[in-house]
Amino acid sequence: MNMNKDVNDILNNFDFEKVKDVMDTLDWKYWDSEEDTVSIYELRKTARYLLTTVYNAPNSPHQHLSTGGFEAERRMYPGDSKKYLHLKFVVEEVNTADFEGATNAD
């Protein structure tokens, strides 16, 4: 297991240009951005932070961390010591927990 290789593999294969295009279109920038638009450097820095943090988190079947639209996950499976990383950028999401306690108006 090599954290740097795994993180770099994710970063080198993730389409940060696409994320930047979406953020620019939505006029979405980070609160601490020094520029008018988010930079690829900022996006990669955020993603690297999330990936290394979940990679180094205590061993458990699932670790998850998110910020700035990015979600990083690390999964471990019984009998397998490898840490599997996953990175995504989310613009919209909904789940059934959002509807708990809601009433049906029909």
Q: 70-104: per-residue pLDDT in tens?
A: 999 999 999 988 999 999 999 998 888 777 666 55
Q: What is the pTM of this model?
A: 0.85
At 41-68, the pLDDT tens digits run: 999 999 999 999 999 998 889 999 999 9
Q: Is residue 46 part of a domain?
A: yes
Q: Is residue 97 part of a domain?
A: no
For the four alpha carbons of 15, 55, 48 and 46, in that order, the dihedral sign comes to positive
For residue 43, the surrounding DSSP H or E stretch is: helix 40-56
When divided into structural domains, the chain yields a total of: 1
| Domain-embedded: residue 105 | no
Q: Per DSSP, what are the bridge partners of residue 64?
A: 73
Q: Residue 58 is part of which domain span?
A: 3-92
